[in-house]
Amino acid sequence: MIVFVIGGGPAGMMSALFAARNGHEVTLFERNEKLGKKLYITGKGRCNVTNAADRDTFFAHILQNPRFLYSAYSHFDNQALMERLERAGVPLKTERGGRVFPASDKSSDILRAMERLVRDSGVTVRLNTRVDRVLAENGAVSGVVADGETLVCDAAVIATGGVSYPQTGSTGDGYAFAEALGHKVEPPLASLVALTTEETWPGELAGLTLKNVTLSAKREKGVIYSELGELLFTHFGVSGPLVLSLSGVIAAQPAGTHLMIDLKPALTYEQLDARVLRDLQQGARSQVKTALHALLPARLLTIVLEQSGISESLSVGELTKVMRQKLVETLKAMPLTVSGARGVEEAVVTRGGVSVKDVNASTMESKHVKRLYFAGEVLDIDATTGGYNLQIAWSTGALAGDSIGK
């Protein structure tokens, strides 16, 4: 069969690879000048290629439509991916939280290995080629229009990504293809994205990263998120791994979420109070800010004192027990209110996309157009940070490519 794969990201490359290995004549269309442009920048250029979590833990991190992924993940899971990459000459390492990276910390190693596997399997790669339309006749895919040229095929895989990071080529083309052929597309939202806050003080701390803090989030029904990890203050609010994961939980309605940052999660309230009291006693002749200089970075301590209603110039002798208790409360639950999320173009992944109700989970084939398949971020399925979203792409891509002609 003549197979066209549209999109040269991880899902597209994996689809092309599996289809070619089954003897199909495969052409991979990529609108950019190279394959895997978004893959190249993931994990800050290190490429968090998957997560080594066991199956139950893995699925606990899938935020949207986890059940749809069962077949694809069973067909090609994280262990299968890691084995394939290591056989292709890319040593891997597993870091905190099960995050898997190339041992070299270079995403280019993953990309080169995938490109080599794709080309060695006989796939024709057409770079700088934009597919304008996917064609269907009598309820089955029949070809594509690429750069104005009509090309005939027997099967096609749409693996065009979402609308996050549009500079990498993800501009929602696949949504238009899907809608034109009768599929429902759930509205794209930002998932795994920085959050803006009602408070302006995070801007005074812009660029400051806090490691080993606990971020909790509350809505009307109570606490909906609480995790230990890394947080970054920005000019407009907060970001970092903790915030990106939270954003996926509140993607539909971020505004109004109440945040609490525990700056000293290793200590109980009583232990922290004792620590603060000891520091104050040791600096009894100085200002509160000076006495507590070892507690937090200076810029952050200034804000914490401000949020606790304590003047920077206050001397230790003037600090009352009530004031100290308020300070400890702030250290254990520094409040922020989310005003919104940054735009989807800044998001790591897109929530929304082709409705999974229109796609056969066992094959990734469309329920409306025969021999048309979907894979990767174009589907309405996403996960938290940590390599899970890339594994969704690898798994759905592998199943789509392997299902063609069967």
Locate the domains of the chain by residue range.
2-190+350-403, 194-342
Cα–Cα distance for residue pair 208/83, rounded to 1 Å: 38
Q: What is the pTM of this model?
A: 0.89
- How many Å apart are CA 158 and CA 302, to the nearest integer? 52
Largest CA distance in the chain: 87
Q: Which residues is 146 bridged to in the sheet?
A: 131, 149
pLDDT of residue 42: 79
Q: Which two tokens stand for residue 151?
A: 């090309």
Phi, psi of 231 (to 5 degrees): -135, 140
pLDDT value at residue 347: 86
DSSP three-state, residue 97: helix
Q: How far, in Å, CA of 389 to CA of 367, rounded? A: 24
Number of CB atoms found within 10 A of residue 322's CB: 8
Using 50 as the pLDDT threshold, list the residues of the chain that sit under it.
none
Given this model, what pLDDT does residue 166 score? 73
Give the domain 2-190+350-403 fold: FAD/NAD(P)-binding domain (3.50.50)
pLDDT of residue 165: 67
- Please tell me whether residue 13 adopts helix, strand or coil conformation: helix
Q: Specify the 3-state DSSP secondary structure of 344.
A: helix
**b/e string for 96-106 if b means 16 or more Cβ within 10 A?**
ebbbbbbeeeb
